[in-house]
Amino acid sequence: MLEVRDLHVRFGQAHILQGVSLSVGERPVAIVGRNGMGKTTLCQAVMGLVATSEGGIAFGGRRLNGMPPYRIARRGVALVPQGRRTFPSLSVDEHLRLVAVPGASWNIERVYRTFPRLAERRRNGGAELSGGEQQMLAIARALLMNPKLVIMDEPSEGLAPVIVDQLIAVLRGLPADGMGVLLVEQNLRVATEVAEDVAIMVTGRIAAAMPAARLVGDQELQRRYLGVAAGGR
């Protein structure tokens, strides 16, 4: 579905992504790593939000490099950005109606069933929501596009533990809806419970890729690459 090959991104003299390669198919893939390793830049590069200097990005066999973000979205890629980026002046319901696809699997009614708090706050503006509520809205907005691939950059950030458990269940069910998942997470539990395959990013490179079960069971790997114990952030 998604093929990234030898991808490089530079901001001035800073070489942020240094030859990143990865593939996402039908099974969810998680990328984990400490802050500042280039994970968000990778998400932005796939969506056309930052320019690439070398390498290739292909989705469904078609090259994405140089394509504007709106065209990438129309091809079936949705992004849940870090920082939520909700519109302060629009209500929850208005946010959802902007992107809802009539007759699709993910619709507004399903969103409200999945995230009851959004149903309670449907008339509130984006600026009136808590951080966790804004995060739920950003996730719902992406799912309502019914994309072929959803890229989630730290989706559990700001969510209460009970909502995180609900999020895990939602993400694990997306392949049944025909959606691929590329999940960027610092929460190791979320990453390894959602995805069977995990890539570890270190200073702009994929330093290791392995089954999630191996990373969960190897605390030395966790300390070496992430500086955390199992379940930590």
- List per-residue pLDDT tens for the chain, 233 residues long: 899 999 999 998 899 999 999 999 989 999 999 888 999 999 999 999 999 989 999 999 999 999 999 999 999 999 999 877 888 889 999 999 999 988 899 999 999 999 999 999 999 988 898 888 898 899 999 999 999 999 999 998 878 888 899 889 999 999 999 999 999 998 899 999 999 999 999 999 999 999 999 999 999 999 888 876 444 44
In the sheet where 62-63 sits, what is the strand order?
14-24, 2-11, 54-59, 62-63
Whole-number pLDDT of residue 40: 94
CA 213 to chain centre: 20
- Asked if 162 and 13 count as a contact pair (C-beta separation under 8 A), the reply is no
**What is the topology classification, in CATH, of domain 2-225?**
Rossmann fold (3.40.50)
* DSSP H/E element including 19: strand 14-24
- Asked if 8 and 18 count as a contact pair (C-beta separation under 8 A), the reply is yes
The span from the CA of 183 to the CA of 32, in Å, is 9
Whole-number pLDDT of residue 227: 77
Q: How far apart are the first and last CA of the chain?
A: 29
The span from the CA of 39 to the CA of 32, in Å, is 8
The span from the CA of 221 to the CA of 137, in Å, is 34
The span from the CA of 65 to the CA of 42, in Å, is 13
Domain extents in the chain: 2-225
Whole-number pLDDT of residue 232: 44
Whole-number pLDDT of residue 233: 44
101: amino acid identity, one letter:
V
Closest residue by Cα to residue 185 from 139, 220, 129, 137: 139
- Asked if 183 and 29 count as a contact pair (C-beta separation under 8 A), the reply is yes
Whole-number pLDDT of residue 159: 83
Alpha helix stretches (DSSP H) within 10-91: 39-46, 69-74
Between the CA of residue 218 and those of 36, 205, 213, 226, what are the distances in Å? 23, 21, 9, 12
Please identify which residue in the block is written with the tokens 């939000």: 49
The span from the CA of 5 to the CA of 77, in Å, is 18
